[in-house]
Chains A and B, each alone.
Chain A
Amino acid sequence: MPVPVLAARDVHKSYGQGATRFDALKGVSLDVHEGESVAIVGKSGSGKSTLMHLLALLDKPTIGAIELSGRDAAALNGAVLNKTRNATFGFVFQQFFLTPGTTVLENVTLPLRIAGVRGAERKRRGMAALAQLELADKAKNRATDLSGGQKQRAVIARALVNNPSVIFADEPTGNLDSATGKVVEDILFDLNRTHGITLIIVTHDEDLAARCDRRIYVRDGLVVDSLTPTIQKEALA
């Protein structure tokens, strides 16, 4: 059994103190292997985003551990965490988070700018990512002037511009109509298939979840069911 890229070990996450204390996660364990596509499914408020943020090393669990390639993330220092999030992970958040007043290209190359990549190289890679999502002609437009579907594609371009090995996507189709949502889904699964990028998708859309290799159902901070269609099929065979 290979070491999972990401793993949660009995993770608890609580917000607030005393009377207002709220347990968003109450003991979650899971493994994510390289090249997998995993859907985290559940109702609103069930703790999906919280779990994703913990796996993405954006937050620390109250109890339990997150393991990055078998190493406890709590043992990593800030610089290593920053470097991992910058170079190894790509993010698609629940909202677009495009910086107003700047161009599409500038938004897309933000991870490269943070990494300290030089201007010309940055532009080349930014344009390549935009071309991959058929947005090259919008590079010089202001990010806020794009349509909803174009914004979501720009956000995906930003997530893959640094050639990440894991992409986290929180409700990537939540803001889109079903036709556009389908296009975005196709792009993500194509990246997963052709580039071997690990996908961790948070969604409450059963159709999207069904396209993933594996679904993790979360309810009230607990994993209630974990379905792995391929493995089940193998077991039956």
Chain B
Amino acid sequence: MNAFDLIRSAVGNSLRSKTRTLLTVIAIFIGAFTLTLTTAVGTGINNYIDSTVSAIGASDVMTVTIPAEDSNPLASSGPEEYDPGATVVGGGMGPSSIALTPSDIAALADVDGVLSVDPAISVTADYVQYGDGSQYQAAIGSFIPGMSIDLAAGVAPDMTATDYEVALPVSFVEPLGYAGNDTAIGTSIIIGLTSASGVSSTVTATVVGIAEAPLVGSASVIPNEALTQELYSVQSAGLTEAQADSYAAATVRFDENATETEINALKSDLTDLGYSGTTVSDQIGSFRTVIDAIVLVLNGFAIIALFAAGFGIVNTLLMSVQERTREIGLMKAMGMAGSKIFALFSFEAIFIGFLGSAVGIGAAMLAGLGINTLLAGGLLADLPGLTLVAFDPVSTAVIVVAVMAIAFIAGTIPALRAARQDPIESLRYE
């Protein structure tokens, strides 16, 4: 029998007792449906994390800080000795770090693999205001060249422009008094801030873009380079030079084609010098780990369901072999090789697995579509970039292949029994 006829016969045989095949297919369907959906949720969330990564920072930058010697507040080992030269930034329960000085910046620039070092300037605004509208508290974000913003309208602030440009979070549009995202573009916004010496003043900037809400971190107003420098100089008025030149962190750029090992080497070089470097993916990595763990547990349940379905296949095919004892005997008598009989029943098992997984995945895709539409208008309306259930062709194909593999393994028991049947015994079978 050639392969085509084998497959055709197997498909025909499996459709001969429709009820039995249907029941087995349902069992596989349940497993495949669950597995597809849980995997798709994992994919959806991870896709969103990935797209958010570029919004948080470019992939070729590292945030460098000087960790305080005992930066773990839980492992307290008594008071630390006072160092008059060191300014401790942060504190409380969070990991504290020591401020970087211009000499640190210079030292960092000398490290192998570092392309450029920029001190991270943090600016704190009191409020933002549009025209005569209400004043709203706002965090001023930092925008690193190479970073991309998930825009709802307009363009990203131009880093090379000398004009003051800003991107507003989408959640600010209505409170500030705009009719919509598009009407906000091109208008002037007032940023109010207080200098170190306590003088309140304002800076006016042009709104060029509206940014979607991020998954992690709070929504912030994103200024361009010129505006950041202006805000920083207004804020620093009245500080001594040493105070103005101390930074919580520095941003180090490295080769954008750097491999994982090169990045790790750079990190350990920095650690040797007493610094600590964190890339954006380090920060996001912990998120992914949690999501992956949850998806793994859910997939575990689905796989257990598939194993149960595998026993269904064994049972179905054993019945089928029993029922077709005489037919098998006849085929063997007429010169069909045992290996072909084995293939015939294996194909039947694989076909049942394929039916179950194809229908299961199809149904999961429909369900995913429904869930996405439902959530987009409800629970996840505030996270417009998030598609909770996303289907990745590779993992979908892996599921089909895995289910077919389980079906094949389950089918080997009945298929072997059929292949080993003695034709004379089978022909005598009543």
Contacts and interface: CB of A to CB of B under 8 A. Distances in A.
A84 B2 CA distance: 18
Contacts of A95: 326, 427
Interface string B324-344: 001101110111111010000
A111 B338 CA distance: 15
A83 B335 contact: yes
- Which residue of B329, B335, B337, B338 has the most chain A CB atoms within 10 A of its CB atom? B335
Interface string A162-199: 00000000000000000000000000000000000000
B294 interface: no
Contacts of A99: 327, 330
Interface residues of A, number: 27
Interface in A75-128: 78-79, 81-87, 91, 93, 95, 97, 99, 101-102, 110-111, 113-116, 118
Contact of B335 (A87, A93, A101, A118): A87
Contacts of A114: 1, 331, 334-336, 340
A53 interface: yes
Contacts of B340: 114
B343 to A, nearest CB: 12
B20 to A, nearest CB: 14
B83 interface: no
A216 to B, nearest CB: 21
B334 A91 contact: yes
A91 B333 contact: yes
A59 interface: yes
A97 B5 CA distance: 20
A63 interface: no
B133 to A, nearest CB: 79
Contact of A93 (B2, B336, B427): B427
Contacts, number: 57
B2 A116 contact: yes
B336 to A, nearest CB: 5
A58 interface: yes
Contact of B334 (A85, A102, A116): A85
B348 to A, nearest CB: 15
Interface string A13-43: 0000000000000000000000000000000
Contacts of B334: 85-86, 91, 110-111, 114
Interface in B39-97: none
B423 A113 contact: no
B420 interface: no
Contacts of B333: 56, 58, 85, 91, 93
A85 B335 contact: yes
B335 A82 contact: yes
B16 interface: yes
A84 B337 CA distance: 12
Contact of B424 (A53, A85, A86, A91): A53
A110 B331 contact: yes
A91 B16 CA distance: 26
Contact of B423 (A58, A87, A118): A58
Interface in A47-61: 53, 56, 58-59
Contacts of A87: 335
Contacts of B12: 102
Contacts of B336: 82, 86, 114
B179 to A, nearest CB: 70
A81 B423 CA distance: 13
Contact of A59 (B1, B5, B337, B424): B424
Interface in B323-368: 326-327, 329-331, 333-338, 340
Give 8 nearest A-B pairs by CB, closest first: A86-B335, A82-B335, A85-B335, A116-B2, A114-B336, A97-B330, A111-B334, A59-B424
11 contacts: A53-B424, A78-B338, A82-B335, A86-B336, A87-B335, A91-B334, A97-B326, A97-B329, A97-B330, A110-B334, A116-B5
